[in-house]
Each structure stands twice: as structure tokens, then as C-alpha cells.
């Protein structure tokens, strides 16, 4: 669904930025091994099995939007590799819970111990990729702030919190 604020042009511009940022990323042995490594609980292994052998460009919107207890039960290397597929799927269908999951997952925590883990998880991203994530978050922020029809809830206070959260994420980590 296209929302009034999120014109095809602006959404496609962010999608192109994401594609360019990950254009030369390949499915590596490290990613494959991390996806095949047993995690000790069924849900994580089920999620990981869905991605084995797939390049990020081959992840369908259906797979990106699939409901799992936590769709980000991927090892860090795999999460970083597949992040563009999740971002693009969320832009195309912001009505799905994937968008809110991404907003939460991409917001750096405030506690020192947790921020170190967050930074470690996303340390595999280069500057261009971090800027692409910042472009995604900024696009969602503008849509949420400007378009009451944008699907992140109708409660004004909740939407204000989302906007602050997105600003915080860009300022403290992604925009650096």
C-alpha cells in the first residue's frame, strides 16, 4: 500500500540507497556456517534454516514478513548480511509488524553493557551501509511525523515516541 507521504520516488530512493550499499556483499562461508550452527533451541534453528543458501537479494518479502517469535534470531553476521532484505520489505509494506520490529532492533540501547552488544552486532557494517540504515530510519521518521495515515499507530503520543526513538537511533549510532 502506498501512503500519501511515502511517494514511490522517496521510497524507491531509499531502496536504491540500500541496494547500492549492499551491492557487493556476497553470501560467504562465514554466513553459511553461522546459519547452520545449532543454537540450542528449535525456534532459532527454524528461522536460520529458512535463510541457508540464500543471497540477501533472494529473500522474498513473504519470508521477510513471516511471523516468528523473533524474526531476528539470526547470528550477527547473518543479520547484517540480510538486513537490506528486511529494510526493503518493510518499506514496501509498512503495515506489517516488521517495521516496528526493525525500529526496535535498530535503536541502540542506553545501558552500557547492551550498547556494546549492539555495536558488536552491527560492527560488520561499513560507513555506506550505516548511512543506508540511517536513510531508512530517517525516511520512516519523516513519514511517521508527517503522515497520520502512516501505519505506526494512530495514538499521537505513541507516534511522538516513535519519532524520538528514530531520531535517537540516527543521532547516537547510524548517522555517525
pLDDT score, position 4: 36
User: Average pLDDT of 164-176?
Assistant: 93
Task: Evaluate whether 11 touches 139 at the Cβ level (below 8 Å).
Answer: yes
Give the whole-angstrom CA distance, residue 117 versus residue 157.
29
Per-residue pLDDT band for 9 (boundaries 50, 70, 90) equals low
Give the whole-angstrom CA distance, residue 45 versus residue 64.
16
Give the whole-angstrom CA distance, residue 104 versus residue 169.
9
pLDDT score, position 5: 41
The mean pLDDT of the chain is 88
pLDDT digits (tens, 9 = 90+) for 142-161: 988 888 777 777 778 888 99
pLDDT digits (tens, 9 = 90+) for 18-37: 999 999 999 999 999 999 99
Q: Which helix (H) or strand (E) holds 16?
A: helix 8-21
pLDDT score, position 69: 61
Task: For 31, list phi and psi in degrees, rounded to 5.
Answer: -65, -45
Task: For 130, list phi and psi in degrees, rounded to 5.
Answer: -60, -40
Report the 3 state secondary structure along 32-47.
Answer: HHHHHCCCCCHHHHHH
**Cα 113–chain centre separation:** 22
Residue 90, pLDDT above cutoff 60:
yes
pLDDT digits (tens, 9 = 90+) for 44-81: 888 899 999 999 999 999 999 887 667 678 899 999 99
Angle at 128 between CA 109 and CA 121, to 5 degrees: 35
Amino acid at each position: 500500500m502506498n501512503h500519501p507521504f511515502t511517494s514511490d520516488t522517496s521510497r524507491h530512493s531509499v531502496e536504491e540507497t540500500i541496494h547500492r550499499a549492499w551491492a557487493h556483499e556476497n553470501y560467504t562461508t562465514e554466513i553459511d556456517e553461522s546459519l547452520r550452527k545449532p543454537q540450542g533451541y528449535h525456534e532459532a534453528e527454524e528461522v536460520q534454516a529458512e535463510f541457508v543458501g540464500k543471497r540477501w537479494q533472494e529473500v522474498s518479502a513473504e519470508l521477510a514478513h513471516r511471523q516468528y517469535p523473533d524474526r531476528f534470531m539470526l547470528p550477527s553476521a547473518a543479520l547484517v548480511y540480510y538486513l537490506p532484505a528486511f529494510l526493503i520489505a518493510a518499506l514496501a509494506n509498512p503495515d506489517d509488524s516488521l517495521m516496528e520490529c526493525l525500529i526496535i532492533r535498530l535503536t541502540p540501547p542506553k545501558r552500557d553493557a547492551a550498547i556494546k552488544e549492539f555495536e558488536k552486532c552491527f560492527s560488520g557494517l561499513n560507513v555506506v551501509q550505516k548511512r543506508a540504515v540511517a536513510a531508512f530510519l530517517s525516511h520512516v521518521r519523516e513519514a511517521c511525523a508527517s503522515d497520520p495515515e502512516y501505519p505506526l499507530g494512530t495514538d499521537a503520543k505513541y507516534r511522538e515516541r516513535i519519532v524520538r526513538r528514530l531520531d535517537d537511533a540516527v543521532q547516537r549510532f547510524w548517522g555517525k
